[in-house]
Structure 1
């Protein structure tokens, strides 16, 4: 291994150790007298591990989202607009600003007021969608749900076919390639043994003929 590869490997190990220490501190929250993070305690059972607890929480959240539409809507809203769930930090008005300075700040946004008012007024002019169209769209929802279910089943079937294909390829590689190679190696070894035996007997026969 070159010096550069050894340096890269050493740096990678140091980074992994630093991340492991950081994770240990996040899990335990304590350190020993040297400042090193405390080692997390071993869970009492397999169900108490972090991965199992996270998986259990995800299953419960998924079950709750299926049972309560409001929860599903909130999760979808969080996925699309995560900033809505993190309100901005309130900013206090700086002290010491003169009324003239405050007026200039307000007047700098004066052009936005008519535009906002115009947009709000235009909402009243928008036509309300026809109830028949909305009803027809709602009536299509069961069909869309069935199509989504069919698509999910097809995706599962394709995934299963991929797994089976991978297993067949693995079996063909183990039996067709590796097995054939081992068989040819065995035959070659046996042929070499037969050739040695034939040469040995020819040498013995030549010696016997020379003696006669």
Structure 2
């Protein structure tokens, strides 16, 4: 009897490990759990299973939401026989819910049919796309480098334009202002001299 119990416990733990690996593969796309010896103590294997489950829950938001859903609505995760109605409502209430959602059945069926009829791309095309992936990565890297060079050129162009504006445009404006001031002073002196000569001529 004891050997049968031990065998059943070990088989149960093996099934739990296999299910956990399938869940990890379905959620993460890969299995990080290394295959270890089956001769470890049962307590150690259970502790490792709990540790792996906690790690998976901490890494995956989907698992966290499922655990929250299981904690709030455990009835959803229980298998119900086909002859039993999975609800506590009476027949009239269930019928009204079904009739209210009857219009969505046809639309859902048409959507599923369209998805089923959607042709799958040929394997050759997928292989070509996979082969083009290195070239696409190289082009992306080249484009990023060109974008960085263009940004640097824009900065240099902006600096050159600013320098030209400050040195040539503003400098020329200051020179013209100084020249206009000097011309104004010369005009004033010429007018004074002409006025003085006019006064002298009148006195003579």
Range class of TM-score, shorter chain:
0.3 to 0.5
Taking CA–CA contacts closer than 8 Å with sequence separation of 6 or more, which of the two structures ends up with the larger relative contact order?
Answer: 2
Structure showing greater Rg: 2
TM-score, length basis structure 1: 0.42
TM-score, length basis structure 2: 0.44
